[in-house]
Structure 1
Amino acid sequence: MAPLRQCLMPVAAFVMAMHLHAGACSAAEVLIGTPRVIDGDTLEVAGTRVRLFGIDAPEKKQACLDGRGESYLCGQAATSALREVIGDAPVACTVKTKDMYRRSVAVCTVVRPGERPLDLNAWLVEEGHAVAYRRYSKDFVPAELRAQEAKRGIWAGRFELPEGWRHKETMPQWFQ
């Protein structure tokens, strides 16, 4: 239990500093723990399903074309990238709302001792593993534009927006 406490203390200190810096004494729910990556924009933290706020990553079965025009599973690539950037570090997720599936929708930050906190939502978009989900937020549009300009991740080739891909996948064949 002591190693877990040592690992989580910097996270707790960071979360407290965030709230004090923002002048917030609000009752914002913060989930802290070592996450399980579900997919490119969903984690499970402290037993709670968390959808990353303001971003949309390709689905696990979604294919994209890379810069050479070759197909790859961009949803699996996003999931792997998120898993890799988190490693075994704890995250702090500040819950903004709940979605229609009752998941917590949050901005999550990975915190490692001696390093600056990393906003996972922004990182995924900046690296081209997700797009800004403009229907819900404009927060990550600048990061998306930088990824697009640098041709990082999905922006190196061609892809369908995850929301459009999901819609096509769930629509009955007779309707298409």
Structure 2
Amino acid sequence: MTRSGRLFRDGVTTFALLAVLGLLALKMNNRPELIQTGSFYVVDGDTLSRDGSRLRLLGIDAPEYRQQCRRADVNWSCGEEARKALDKFMETGAAECRGREHDRYGRLLVTCKVGGVDINGAMVRSGMAVSYGGYAAEEAEARQAKAGLWAGDFERPRDYRREEMMARDGDPLAGLGDFLRQFIGWDR
């Protein structure tokens, strides 16, 4: 085979390989968007439930339900307050939650809107959640205004979860409690 023949063959092979890779990428990126509308049960500051399935608000991280924060040298139940704040936002009208991806726990990652208001962003802007891969501008607004969590001292929710998990590792009954909460649907 001549040199020009080999170059042509290699070019065609490369083009075919790139075309196949492009089609695979297109297929993987073409997941249908799942849309849920109506009312939802608020589990905590960044998790919703409906018809037995869990939805996790995309791009934010709210304090865990039992998490405590400090403001003016006094502890306050920031986790409970985050849940109440999300519940209040969700009650302002019919919600529409959209998402394509699932997290490692099988929860659909969603962005929710009520009356055109992005609930995920509203939670961060109110200081009841921190930005987690999105909503950096809203977090900067909340910090500047010293809103919610930013009015005092708090542990980032991911750090709180990590410490809770480390503390439970030494307690054999803590794992049973976690299993029971997950079994009856009270898990995160």
Identity of aligned pairs, percent?
Answer: 36
Question: Aligned equivalents of 2:76 and 2:104: distance in 1?
Answer: 30
Does 2:55 align with 1:56?
no
One-letter identity of the residue aligned with 1:72:
W
After superposition, give the CA deviation of every residue in 1:108-134 in whole Å (9 maximum; x if it has no partner): 1113xxxxx11110000000000001x
TM-score, normalised by the number of residues in structure 1: 0.75
Structure 2 gaps of 5+ residues are: 1-29, 171-188
Change (3 A) 1:90 1:170: same
Q: Provide runs of 4+ in structure 1 moved above 2 Å.
A: 45-48, 172-175
How far 1:172 sits from its partner (Å)? 3.8
Please name the residue that 1:99 is paired with.
103
What does residue 162 of structure 1 align with? 157
The answer to whether the 8 A contact 2:125-2:138 is kept is yes
Counterpart CA distance in 2 for 1:88 and 1:148 is 25
Query: Does 2:82 match 1:87?
Result: no
Quick check: 1:108–1:119 contact (8 Å CA) kept in 2?
Answer: yes
Deviations 1:54-86 (A, max 9, x none): 1000001100011x1210010000001111122
Higher relative contact order (CA 8 A, sep 6+): 1
CA contact (8 A) 2:126 2:148 kept: yes
For the Cα contact (< 8 Å) 2:92–2:114, is it kept in 1? no
Q: Indicate the RMSD between aligned Cα atoms, in angstroms.
A: 1.9
Q: CA 1:31/1:47 → structure 2, altered by over 3 Å: closer, same or farther? A: farther
Partner of residue 69 from structure 1, selected from 60, 63, 73: 73
**CA distance in structure 2 between the partners assigned to 1:54 and 1:96 by the alignment:** 13
For residue 28 of structure 1, what is the aligned residue in structure 2? Answer: 33
Kindly provide the CA deviation profile for residues 119-171 of structure 1, in whole angstroms up to 9, marking residues without a partner as x.
110000000000001xxx2x201100110011000000000000000000011
Provide TM-score, normalisation by structure 2. 0.70
Q: Can you give the 5+ residue segments of structure 1 that lack an aligned partner in the other structure?
A: 1-24, 112-116
- Once the two structures are TM-superposed, the CA of residue 45 in structure 1 deviates from its matched residue by 3.4
For residues 46 and 90 of structure 1, do their structure 2 counterparts lie closer, same or farther at Cα, with a shift above 3 Å needed? farther
Aligned length: 141
Letter in 1 for 2:80: Q
